[in-house]
Amino acid sequence: MAAVQVASALSVPLLSALLGGAVALVFLAGYLRRKRADIAHLPPSAAAAAPDLPKQVRPAGQNKKGGGHARVHHHHASAADKEAAKKHHHLDVNTLRGHTDCVTALDFSSDACNLATVCADGVVRVFRIDDASSKSFKILKINLPAGAHPTAIAYSEGSSSVVVAAQALLGSSLYMYADVGAPPTGGNKQQGKLSPPEIKWDHKKIHGKESVLNLAAARATHGTGDGSTIVISCSEATDIKIWHGRSGKELGTVDTNQLKNNMADISPNGRFIAAAAFTADVKVWEIVYSKDSSVKEVNRVMQLKGHKSAVTSLCFTPDSEKIITASKDGTIRVWNINVRYHLDEDPKTLRVLPVPLHDSKGSTCLYEHMGISPDGKVLAVTSGSTLQWLCAETGVVLDTAEKAHEGAISGIAWAPRTIPNGGAPAFILATCGDDKKVKLWLAPEVSST
């Protein structure tokens, strides 16, 4: 009887232990099934990588219920897939990064090896462009004087010096920096900062309190010009000043008398200056050189009449014999200025082309920037964030890049000669914008027909 009582007393705990073990086995089996499911549902990239990881460094999330690691890794994989799937415009060659604020203007050196930019962060950057498709570029940085907000830049003597226009509280200033070629070769990234370029000359309050809209430069090769660089600064008021690039000497001033300027340009041979301003007419001045190559005088010689509204942008053709203008009236005009103006021969309108770009409401867009390729075949124009290429001869649209920048395009510049692109020579256009980026673009093909 005592033995029965002992057996009865032991059977309850034993039975409880057996039941507890069975429950534990059920939970363990369920956990192992979930574990296998977690591993089976890893994305391909994670599944391939996981076996190579030592056991002690496997991601901790992999051991948690619900496959937390799988979800995180899948998120990154999706982001990478989206980035890879994002297609750039087929003419988009490269993006130059490193600016910390809006890029306000840019210009190529005469040998097309350097591209200088100015940024609202107060820094001039010079990029060495050995190949437009390169994955990295050497950069020289120049800090402008404190309080100077750069608005324009132009190379003043070949590829060795730049003139920068900057706005401050008291007005605009010009600064000329020499020896701004590509950074020294070698792996030391700090090497270029050891001897920063110095200011060779500067001028304060050059246009009163008005800011400089743009700078343009050209070599004086016409007539008795000695090949030195002439720089013009166009104010937002009505005056345009002419400067000697190397010495900084002021060579003259012209006034459009048209309420306000939109921009100005100088012909590639340093002979003519043209201004797009508030009215429909475009005034043209000639720089006359003396026998000793100095600037003798600057005279107004022509007026381009034909547009019905303000001219927003213009440019000279590479041969300095034509001017292309874009107006708020929705037309582009090509003018022949190779005329005997001293005999009262007026410039001739060669072609009137419609502006082909329209907004979502069907209204004609305004071209804010304009530039022609060195071979004279492709006209690049911008409106807001849209970049467009036109056949300079016919006005036919060659290509369009909508949202070329994530914001307004603030400047464009053609390289003056071909640049290697993956080893092959190509005409390259550079654009800058409010999105802190500079982009390089190929020139589209122009049909021979």
Structure tokens at 397: 């649209």
Q: What is the pTM of this model?
A: 0.79
Does the pLDDT value for residue 369 go beyond 70? yes
Asked if residue 284 lies in contact with residue 273, where contact means CB atoms within 8 angstroms, the answer is yes
Closest listed residue to residue 213, CA positions, set 256, 158, 272: 256
| Each residue's pLDDT tens digit, 1-59 | 444 444 444 455 555 555 566 555 555 555 555 444 343 333 433 333 333 333 333 43
pLDDT of residue 158: 75
Per-residue CA distances from 177 to 103, 270, 332, 436 (Å): 19, 21, 37, 23
DSSP-assigned states of every residue in 153-200: EEEEETTTEEEEEEEETTEEEEEEEE---SPPSSS-TTGGGSSPPPEE
Mean pLDDT of 57-68: 38
304 bridge partner residues: 282
The DSSP 8-state label assigned to residue 110 in this structure reads T
| Each residue's pLDDT tens digit, 291-343 | 988 899 999 999 999 999 999 999 999 999 999 999 999 999 999 999 999 88
In degrees, rounded to 5, the angle at the alpha carbon of residue 301 between the alpha carbons of residues 296 and 305 is 155
pLDDT of residue 35: 45
Question: Is the Cα dihedral 21, 26, 31, 36 positive or negative?
Answer: positive
Tokens 């290509």 belong to: 399
Does the pLDDT value for residue 396 go beyond 70? yes
Interatomic CA distance for residues 313 and 349, integer angstroms: 17
pLDDT band at 157 (very low <50, low <70, confident <90, very high): confident
* Portion of the chain with pLDDT greater than 90, in percent: 71
Q: Which of 166-175, 182-191, 217-226, 227-236 has the least mean pLDDT?
A: 182-191
pLDDT band at 62 (very low <50, low <70, confident <90, very high): very low
pLDDT of residue 100: 95
pLDDT of residue 48: 38
pLDDT of residue 23: 52
Interatomic CA distance for residues 358 and 176, integer angstroms: 40
Mean pLDDT of 192-205: 81
> Looking at domain 89-184+197-441, does it have CATH number 1.10.260.40?
no
Question: Is the Cα dihedral 269, 270, 276, 281 positive or negative?
Answer: negative
The DSSP 8-state label assigned to residue 6 in this structure reads H
Interatomic CA distance for residues 295 and 307, integer angstroms: 32
CB-based contacts of 431, cutoff 8 Å, min separation 6? 382, 387, 404, 405, 409, 411, 412, 438, 439, 441
448 vs 152, more confident: 152
CB-based contacts of 3, cutoff 8 Å, min separation 6? none
Closest listed residue to residue 158, CA positions, set 100, 94, 109, 211: 109
Identify residue 210 by its one-letter amino acid code: E
Q: Virtual CA dihedral for 295, 300, 306, 311, nearest 10 degrees?
A: 60
Does the pLDDT value for residue 407 go beyond 80? yes
Interatomic CA distance for residues 332 and 352, integer angstroms: 6
Closest listed residue to residue 270, CA positions, set 318, 317, 217, 234: 217
The DSSP 8-state label assigned to residue 133 in this structure reads T
Does the pLDDT value for residue 76 go beyond 60? no
Mean pLDDT of 255-265: 95
DSSP-assigned states of every residue in 54-72: -GGGS-GGGGSTT-HHHHH
| Each residue's pLDDT tens digit, 343-366 | 889 999 999 999 999 988 989 999
Per-residue CA distances from 183 to 140, 141, 189 (Å): 6, 9, 9
Cα 178–chain centre separation? 23
pLDDT band at 88 (very low <50, low <70, confident <90, very high): confident
Interatomic CA distance for residues 352 and 330, integer angstroms: 10
78 bridge partner residues: none
pLDDT of residue 85: 42
Question: Average pLDDT over the chain, rounded to whole?
Answer: 84
Which sequence spans correspond to the domains of the chain?
89-184+197-441
pLDDT of residue 63: 40
158 vs 374, more confident: 374
In degrees, rounded to 5, the angle at the alpha carbon of residue 430 between the alpha carbons of residues 81 and 183 is 95
22 vs 142, more confident: 142
3-state DSSP: the chain helix, strand, coil percent, rounded to 5?
Answer: 20, 40, 40
Interatomic CA distance for residues 291 and 76, integer angstroms: 70
Mean pLDDT of 263-274: 98
